[in-house]
Structure formats: structure tokens, C-alpha cells
Amino acid sequence: MNKTILITFLLLFFFSISFGQQKDTIYGKVKSVREQLNFLDKDRQNMKLFSTEGDYGHYGFSSARFTKSRFHNWWYNTPFVHYSNYYKEFNKKGKPTSEIWFYKDGDTVTTYKYKYDKKDNLIQEKDIFEINDYTCRNYTYDYKNKIRSTIYYASDDPNLYSYTAYVRDSVSNLIEIKRFDEDGELASWKYKYDSKNRKVSKSIHKPYVYIKKGRSTTSRRDSIGLDKICEKYFYDNNNNLLETHYYNYDSSDNLPSKLSRKVKNIHRNGLLEKVVNIRDTINSYREYKYNEQNRKIKETVISTKYPDNNRSSEYFYDKKGNIIKLIYTEKNKPVVVEFKYKFDKQNNWTKQIKSVNGEKLFVWTREIEYYE
């Protein structure tokens, strides 16, 4: 697989919608979790686009949430893996209080610290790189425990900050996200809802207008500003999302947005059966099949423009709903991926072994400490 095709594949996979993905719920009163991926073959490591990339691949380590989501997606849905290595502590209410991420050699990537109010709302998230080098995000809430605002700053220059305000209607629908920095108001997001409180549109609001003089264009702050539509949403009578329309908007003019593509969803018996991407013509689509327990058993991806990216995935489960086998087919070449589990007395898995075409390659371990 050459670099261009691989990059296209990564983008198609990463931005795909994953339905029926295995949940890694941890049962019991958990005090701490230590998770780590180990490699049984030194020559077959985690996915990288280029050999010069670090332990966390092409995107690097951007956040714990992103890294976990990416790891889970690739672990259960492909023959490949991304890297994961962290330790996390929880209070007696099940809220995380600290989290440390590591490189393969054991050095620390970053440390997170979390604080909560009396209602268990997260009020501070601190991302610590070194003792005096960190970023901090503080949260406030309304009387319904909905986020009202956040403020974000870095230790190296706390006078440079970003402030975000969340505006809601009388039934707590989020209708605007307003953003500010030390220089004033930035672009914000606006949302509209129908009579059933379903989100029907998303727009970008800019607190300035554009003035064209000859061949040059300048911007000027304006009390009214400029709204441009970004997305529109359409539903059926069962509140299933039927279509999403995406719009292109030029950030340097006052002209309205232009429709760029559509995504159509086809549902059957309450389950998503097909997703069609349309840009002038059908560019790609995904089809899903489910078993009697509504677990996804097959996903087929067809790209009309890039047929080399066509692929299918078949899933097999044990009685508990754990994925035990994946048949991943690309370019008519099937790869058989098998998963074996080890569980503790709380019925939480503590080890998974991932084999590819009969060869054991990856071990995902999870050490769980419980409150008594």
C-alpha cells in the first residue's frame, strides 16, 4: 500500500462513523486502571505513515480522549493497532482524578489532573507537561448542571486565553457557542431547532464584515456581524437523521454559503442500514448488517472514485457480546483477526491477545484496582 493510498485510507477510516463498536465498560467500584499495549513481534509495531513518526503515530498525542478513541477503533476494526499506555485514578464516586500517559520507554507524555464541584461537575482539567509547564481549562455550570462557560490558558502566558460561553434556550437546547480571546470576540457557532427540539442547522457567526476595495479585501468589526450556514439536518417521523447537508463558505466575503455535499442515512427497524455520500454524484457508501441482538456483523465500504479503498469487515461475537473474530477484506484479500480474553472476578477483562492470520502479535493488558 503506497503512501498516498494509505493516507486516503486513514482519512476514510478515521472519519467514518463506527456503529456497534464494542464497549469496554468497567464494572465495580474502580480505584485505578493501568492499561498498556505490548508487542510480541519487534518488527510489527503500531501504525505509522512514516518511519520518523513517534510512538503515537501520524497525529501524535493530541489528547487522551482522541488517543483512546483512535486506539479502540483500530484495535477492534482493523488488523492494525495504534499505541496506548496510561494510568488513571478515580475517586469513590467513579470520577477520574488523575491520568498519566507514557511513551514506550516509560517516559511521561503528559499528566492530567481533574477537579469537581459539590454536584460532581468537572470544574477544572489541567494538562501538565512539566512542573511549571501546563495548560488549564476551567468550567462553570448553570442551575441545570449544563456547561455555561469555559476558560482556557497556558502557564507560559496566562494573559493569552480563550473564553467560551454556551447560550441555551428555555429548554436547555444549545443555541450558540460564543468564543473570545484577549483581543475580543471570535467566530462563534449558532444552532437552530424545530418544534420537536431536533437540531436542524448549524451556522458560523463572524463579528465582522468584509469590505472590498479594488482587488483587495479588508475586514471590519461590526455589531451585527455575518452568519453563514454550515450544515442542515433532516429527520424522519421516528426522529432518525435522514440527511445532512454540508456547505462551503468563503471566510473572506459576504456571500452566502454553497451546498458542497450530502450524506443520506437509510434506516430499517431502528438500525442504520446504509450511509451514502453524495458530491454531485455518489462518491461512496457504507452498508451495515446486524444479528438478532442488533450487533453489527458486517460493514461494507464502497468508494466509487477510489475502488482500491473498498473493504469489508465481518464481526463474530461470544455469548457475552465480545468480539472474538474479525475478517477484514481489502482488495479481495481477507485477513483473519482473532481476539482472546482473560477476565477478573468482577467480569472485567484484564488481558486481550490480538492475532493476525494465526500469529499472535499484540497484547493489551489492563490492571484494575477496586475500592473495597
Task: Report CA 314 to chain centroid distance, whole Å.
Answer: 23
Within-domain flag for 109: yes
What are the tens digits of pLDDT across the range 297-330?
A: 999 999 998 899 999 999 999 999 999 999 999 9
> Per-residue pLDDT for 8 more than 90?
no
Stretch 268-292: mean pLDDT: 94
Could you give phi then psi for residue 128, rounded to 5 degrees?
-105, 120
Long-range CB contact pairs, 265-270, < 8 A, 24+: 265/240, 265/241, 267/236, 267/238, 267/240, 270/238, 270/240
Of the pLDDT bands very low, low, confident and very high (cuts 50, 70, 90), residue 212 is: confident
Within-domain flag for 222: no
Residue 315 near residue 297, CB atoms below 8 Å: yes
Within-domain flag for 106: yes
* Interaxial angle between packed helices 3-14 and 64-77, expressed in degrees from 0 to 180 and rounded to the nearest 10: 110
pTM for the whole structure: 0.87
Better-scored residue on pLDDT, 58 or 249:
249
Within-domain flag for 206: no
The Cα 11–Cα 217 span in angstroms is 34
Note the pLDDT of residue 52. Answer: 65
For 37-51, 55-69, 240-254, 317-331, which range has the lowest pLDDT when averaged over its residues?
Answer: 37-51
The Cα 6–Cα 113 span in angstroms is 36
Enumerate residues 6+ apart whose C-beta is below 8 A from 275. Answer: 17, 263, 264, 265, 266, 285, 286
Q: What is the mean pLDDT of the chain?
A: 90
SS3 4: helix
Within-domain flag for 199: no
Number of domains in the chain: 1
The percent of residues above 90 in pLDDT, for the chain, comes to 74
Within-domain flag for 93: yes
Note the pLDDT of residue 299. Answer: 98
Note the pLDDT of residue 43. Answer: 79
Of the pLDDT bands very low, low, confident and very high (cuts 50, 70, 90), residue 208 is: confident
Note the pLDDT of residue 16. Answer: 46
Range of the domain at 104: 28-114+340-371
Of the pLDDT bands very low, low, confident and very high (cuts 50, 70, 90), residue 215 is: confident
Give the count of beta carbons closer than 10 Å to the beta carbon of residue 90: 20
- 290, 300, 367: which is closest to 321 by C-alpha? 290
Stretch 212-231: mean pLDDT: 82
Within-domain flag for 102: yes
Residue 186 near residue 177, CB atoms below 8 Å: no
Within-domain flag for 329: no
